[in-house]
C-alpha cells in the first residue's frame, strides 16, 4: 500500500496548495480515501490505484453499508473517493475514472427545524434593549435572519464590510469565498444602533479584533458557543418548543424566501452555496402551501377548465 500513501501525499498537497482547502477539509477528503484503503486491507486485496475497477468500488459501497455506515455518510465517502480518482485522472496517474458509473446511495435528507415568521419575531422581541448586551444581541439576531448567515460568518463580520447605506454587506464564507448579501433596513438600523451606542464605547478593543463587528465586553470576537447560547436563550424566553440554533435562522430565512416566491438561484447566491443541489434542501415547503399555489395558478387545476 506504499503506492497509495505516495498518491495520498500528492493529493494532500493538491488540496492544500491548489484548492486552498483548510486543514480540516483536507483531512476529511483524505479520511474518505483511507476508508477505501481499509476496505481493501480487510478483504486482503492488493491493488494500486490504477488497478481499481468499478466492481471493486461497488463492493466497497456494499461493505460500507454492511458496516453500519449511514446512507448520508456513504454518499459523502463516495464523493470523497470520486474526487480522489478525478485528481489521479487529471494527474495522468490513471487512464480512466473507475468511479464514473458507481451509483451513490439515496441520501436521507433530515431538514432542520423551520421557524414561522411569528416565531422569529417572538424570539427577537425577547431581547432587552435597555442593556448594552441586548442592543448587540438584537443586532445579531436581526442580521442572522435578514442575511441567512452561518454562525461562523456572523462572528467574523467586519466593520469595513458593512455597506449599510447601499443595502449590502460583504460576507466571508467557506474557503474564504466572498459574497455580497442584501441587508434590509431593520437589520441595518439595529447594526448602526449597536455600533453607535455600544461598540464605540467599549473601553478596550483587542488589536486583532479592531475590524470585527460583534464583540464581547472584553473587546474580543464572539465565539460560536456564545452565539448558540444567545439564540437558545431567546428561544426559551419566547417559549418556542423547537430545537433552535443559529442555523435554524438560516434555514428559516431561505425557506421564507422560497415560500415568498424568490428565485432559487438568488437564494443560492445569498446563502453562498456552490451547488444549486445544496440549496434545494431549502425548498422544504408546507404541502398545503404547494397545493394552494397549484390550485390558484395552474391553468388546468379547476374542474370547469376545458368543459
Cα(122)–Cα(240) distance, integer angstroms: 9
Of 1.10.1840.10, 1.10.443.10, 1.10.357.140, 3.40.640.10, the CATH number of 117-290 is 1.10.443.10
- Smallest Cα–Cα separation from 75: which of 67, 84, 65? 65
Q: Catalytic annotation on 29?
A: no
Q: Catalytic annotation on 282?
A: yes
Residue 70 pLDDT: 74
Catalytic residue from among 150, 190, 199, 251: 150
Per-residue pLDDT of the chain (307 residues; tens, 9 = 90+): 567 888 899 999 999 888 888 888 889 899 999 999 999 999 888 888 889 998 999 898 888 888 777 777 788 888 889 999 999 988 888 888 888 888 766 655 555 678 999 999 999 999 999 999 999 999 999 999 999 999 999 999 999 999 999 999 999 988 888 999 999 999 999 999 999 999 999 989 999 999 999 999 999 999 999 999 999 999 999 999 999 999 899 888 888 888 788 777 888 888 888 776 666 665 554 444 445 555 655 565 554 444 4
Yes or no: say if 198 and 135 are a contact pair by the CB < 8 Å rule.
Answer: yes
Catalytic residue from among 174, 192, 232, 237: 174
| Helix boundaries (H) for 148-180 | 151-155
Question: What is the residue extent of each domain of the chain?
Answer: 2-90, 117-290
10 Å Cβ neighbour count for 42? 10
Of 3.40.50.300, 1.10.150.130, 1.10.10.10, 3.40.605.10, the CATH number of 2-90 is 1.10.150.130
Q: Catalytic annotation on 150?
A: yes
Yes or no: say if 90 and 219 are a contact pair by the CB < 8 Å rule.
Answer: no
Cα(40)–Cα(33) distance, integer angstroms: 11
Residue 112 pLDDT: 64
| Helix boundaries (H) for 91-207 | 117-125, 132-147, 151-155, 185-197
- In the 3-class helix/strand/coil scheme, how is 60-93 assigned residue by residue? HHHHHHHCCCCHHHHHHHHHHHHHHHHHHHHCCC
Catalytic residue from among 190, 250, 251, 256: 250
- Smallest Cα–Cα separation from 133: which of 214, 211, 188? 214
Residue 167 pLDDT: 93
Cα(201)–Cα(57) distance, integer angstroms: 60
Q: Catalytic annotation on 201?
A: no
- Does 2-90 match 117-290 in CATH topology? no
Residue 111 pLDDT: 59
Q: Catalytic annotation on 133?
A: no
Amino acid at each position: 500500500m506504499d503506492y497509495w500513501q505516495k498518491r495520498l501525499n500528492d493529493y494532500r498537497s493538491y488540496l492544500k496548495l491548489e484548492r486552498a482547502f483548510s486543514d480540516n477539509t483536507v483531512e476529511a477528503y483524505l479520511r474518505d480515501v483511507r476508508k477505501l484503503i481499509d476496505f481493501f486491507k480487510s478483504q486482503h486485496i492488493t491493488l494500486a490505484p490504477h488497478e481499481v475497477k468499478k466492481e471493486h468500488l461497488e463492493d466497497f459501497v456494499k461493505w460500507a453499508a454492511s458496516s453500519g455506515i449511514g446512507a448520508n455518510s456513504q454518499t459523502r465517502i463516495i464523493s470523497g473517493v470520486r474526487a480522489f480518482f478525478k485528481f489521479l485522472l487529471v494527474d495522468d496517474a490513471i487512464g480512466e475514472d473507475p468511479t464514473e458509473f458507481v451509483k451513490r446511495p439515496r441520501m436521507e435528507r433530515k431538514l432542520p427545524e423551520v421557524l414561522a415568521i411569528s416565531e422569529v419575531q417572538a424570539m427577537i422581541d425577547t431581547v432587552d434593549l435597555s442593556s448594552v448586551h441586548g442592543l448587540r444581541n438584537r443586532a445579531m439576531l436581526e442580521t442572522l435572519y435578514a442575511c441567512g448567515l452561518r454562525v461562523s460568518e456572523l462572528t467574523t463580520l467586519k466593520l469595513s464590510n458593512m455597506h449599510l447605506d447601499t443595502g449590502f454587506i460583504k460576507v466571508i464564507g467557506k474557503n474564504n469565498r466572498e459574497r455580497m448579501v442584501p441587508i434590509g433596513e431593520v437589520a441595518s438600523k439595529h447594526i448602526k444602533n449597536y455600533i453607535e451606542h455600544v461598540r464605540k464605547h467599549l473601553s478596550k478593543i483587542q488589536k486583532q479584533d479592531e475590524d470585527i463587528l460583534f464583540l464581547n465586553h472584553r473587546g474580543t470576537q464572539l465565539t460560536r458557543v456564545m452565539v448558540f447560547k444567545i439564540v437558545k436563550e431567546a428561544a426559551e424566553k419566547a417559549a418556542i418548543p423547537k430545537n433552535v440554533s443559529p442555523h435554524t435562522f438560516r434555514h428559516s430565512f431561505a425557506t421564507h424566501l422560497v415560500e415568498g416566491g424568490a428565485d432559487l438561484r438568488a437564494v443560492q447566491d445569498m446563502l453562498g452555496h456552490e451547488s444549486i443541489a445544496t440549496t434545494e434542501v431549502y425548498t422544504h415547503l408546507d404541502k398545503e402551501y404547494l397545493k394552494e399555489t397549484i390550485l390558484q395558478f395552474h391553468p388546468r387545476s379547476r374542474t370547469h377548465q376545458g368543459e
